[in-house]
């Protein structure tokens, strides 16, 4: 499995207030979208999320988002190593993702940019 990078997931109270700080910090421009009831801004290596507390509570359990070349390959490797697939692979606006719980109990999102 080829890991292309990782994104830090940060839950914020006010996305509009947080975006300028992270844009200045990373030198990037926010790419905004909505996933369910959560507003999201991707800025460089940061993924800012804001929304109802009941949805953020679930999102806080995911340690990080790992970009991979192929989510299907990640699924096979993770399963073979004893990880438990919680959800996915499922389509996203830019590719596919899955949620996996590693044997140590940590939860990660794996994403690719394939259709």
Q: Each residue of 76-96: pLDDT tens digit?
A: 999 999 999 999 899 887 789
Q: How high is the pLDDT of residue 101?
A: 97
Note the pLDDT of residue 115.
54
Strand, helix or coil for residue 67: strand
DSSP designation for 70: -
- Specify the long-range contacts of residues 90-98, CB closer than 8 Å, at least 24 apart: 91/115, 93/33, 95/71, 96/71, 97/71, 98/71, 98/74
- pLDDT value at 38 more than 70: yes
pTM of the model: 0.81
Which sign does the torsion angle of CA 60, 66, 71, 77 carry? negative
């Amino acid at each position: 499995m080829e890991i292309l990078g990782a994104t830090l997931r940060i839950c914020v109270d006010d996305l509009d207030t947080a975006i300028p700080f992270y844009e200045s910090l990373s030198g990037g421009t926010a790419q905004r979208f909505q996933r369910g009831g959560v507003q999201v801004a991707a800025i460089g290596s940061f993924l800012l999320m804001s929304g109802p507390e009941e949805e953020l509570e679930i999102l806080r359990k995911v340690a990080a988002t790992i970009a991979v070349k192929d989510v299907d390959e990640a699924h096979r490797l993770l399963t073979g190593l004893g990880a438990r697939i919680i959800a996915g692979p499922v389509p996203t606006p830019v590719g596919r993702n899955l949620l996996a719980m590693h044997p140590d109990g940590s939860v990660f999102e794996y994403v690719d940019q394939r259709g």
